[in-house]
Amino acid sequence: MKLPKNISAIIFDLDGTLLDSLDAWADSDKIFLAEQNIPYDPIISEKLKTMHFVSAAQFFIDELGVKEPLEKVMARINEIIEHKYCHEVAAKPFVREYMEQCAKKGIAMCAATSNLKTLAASALKNNGLDGFTEFLLTSDEVGSGKDNPDIFYICAERLGALPENTAVFEDSLHAAETAAKAGFFTVGVFDSHYAAEFDRLKSVCNMTVKSFGELLE
């Protein structure tokens, strides 16, 4: 399976796309709530996974009754998740090989994430992927989430490519929908956390893969 020949740039999402990292967030939710003596329910992580970091921390306070100030909640969650991103989060199979293949073809690459920049940068570096990306851009830096196409437009401009010549790799339906509506070539990447949405992802994206191995030549 190949990208169209007109694709000269790629914008990669990180969590659930390049990185097998979504379990890390659910595990961090469990650890943090256990410290607060609050029962954990998987539905909590489902609600949190599309939120920005600050919004997620506020959710613990507003909806789950955490009695700590926002700054302290953010600091502790960041401490837990930072350890996981620095020591446990791994790249998905064949990601490195595919990025090497793209680099040899002269395709410009970057990463765009709703995650914190420190966490994203650590995971890219620890998995040896940072050398393939020209830059890393976060939703916080842009000022909007992936329900808004600004992050994709800015990435494409910095990569020197038009949307129609840029592929966006995403595992989440809402982000893929945003990129598709904005005129980007979209590649849906399967992640078990979004398995129930994969059929809908197929209908939104130009192509989908269950593994980066399908893209190797």
| 148-181 pLDDT per residue, tens | 999 999 999 999 999 999 999 999 999 999 999 9
Side-by-side strand order, sheet with 9-12: 136-138, 108-113, 9-12, 166-170, 185-189, 207-209
User: What's the angle, vertex CA 169, arms to CA 52 and CA 210, rounded to 5?
Assistant: 110
Quick: pLDDT tens for 110-150.
999 988 898 999 999 999 999 999 999 999 899 998 999 99
* Predicted TM-score of the model (pTM): 0.87
pLDDT higher than 80, residue 200: yes
Average pLDDT, the chain: 94
Tokens 């995650």 -> residue: 115
Other Cβ atoms closer than 10 A to 175: 27
